[in-house]
Amino acid sequence: MIDLHSHSFFSDGALVPAEHVRRVEVLGYSAIAITDHADSSNIHLLIPNLLQAARDLNPVNKTRLLVGVELTHVPPELIGPLTMRSRELGAQLVVVHGETPVEPVRPGTNLAALEADVDLLAHPGFLSEEEATLAAKKDILLELSGRKGHSLTNGHVVRMAQKTGAPLAINADAHEPGDFLTMEMAEKVGLGAGLNREEYQRVLRNMAAAVEKIKKI
């Protein structure tokens, strides 16, 4: 089990990284990314703190902590520069808070994220076929969300991915202990969004491949 989108108390989550990782370790996770909400005001604080947590925790835990960041409600014009800055600071995974239907995300955010070569576009809402095609071309993961509200457009995201070949990921977007997905619930998220079982297994392989590409701390 892998999750590439979650939040600790460094943004609006409830847990310190050590407990965060321990909670999913007992669920059998092999890796989890902490991707706290960020813009230019806090990115320089989040990433170094999470890097230190990963250096301390990864040698002694079964579950690997991945250091990420979720650029959230950032104006589209700033997504490219902040993606570059995140990587310079050591982020292993750059996520952008996509155009979910339940928040006033600026139009153009999805496209700017894809053009910036981020790793994951979270809850991309009613993304266009052109955007999904770009995600497929650049091998950028599109998220099926287990989170209330964000999950409303999972079916649309699946249809766009099926049409274009864009890769998918299933994430909890966890903020509290009860948000983490079990394997059974992750499967329900995927199948409920319209994936068949073969496609669901492909999603799991996509996520495992994404983790393998990340340099270990």
Residues 125-151: pLDDT tens digits? Answer: 999 999 999 999 999 999 999 999 999
- Which tokens in the block code for residue 137? 């071309």
**Which tens digit of pLDDT belongs to each residue from 174-209?**
999 999 999 999 999 999 999 999 999 999 999 999
Structure tokens at 201: 């297994």
**Burial class, 60, CB count within 10 angstroms (exposed 0-12 / middle 13-18 / buried 19+):** exposed
Q: Looking up tokens 């669901």, which residue turns up?
A: 200
pLDDT-based confidence at residue 59 (cuts at 50, 70, 90) = very high
Query: E strand or H helix at 81, and its extent?
Result: helix 76-89
- Cβ contacts of residue 137 below 8 Å, gap of 6+? none
Distances in whole angstroms, Cα of residue 126 to Cα of each of 105, 109, 116, 129, 160: 12, 12, 19, 9, 9
pLDDT in the model for residue 215 = 78
Q: Which of 163, 164, 166, 185 is nearest to 174 (CA)?
A: 185
- State the CB neighbour count (10 A cutoff) for residue 1: 18
Q: For residues 24 and 176, is the Cβ–Cβ distance under 8 A?
A: no
| Choice between 217 and 105, residue whose per-residue pLDDT is larger | 105
Residue 217 has pLDDT above 80, yes or no: no
Confidence of residue 216 (pLDDT cuts 50, 70, 90): confident
Contact 35, 95 (CB under 8 A): yes
**Fold of the 2-213 domain:** TIM Barrel (3.20.20)
Give the type of residue at 26: V
| Residues 167-171, mean pLDDT to the nearest whole number | 98
C-alpha dist (Å) from residue 98 to 49, 69, 74, 198 = 25, 13, 10, 26
> Could you report the per-residue pLDDT of 92-103, keeping only the tens digit for each?
999 999 999 999
Conformational region of residue 28, where left means phi above 0, alpha means psi within -120 to 50, and beta covers everything else: left
Token output for 8: 């600790």
Rounded to the nearest integer, the mean pLDDT of the chain is: 97
The length of the chain, given as a count of residues: 217
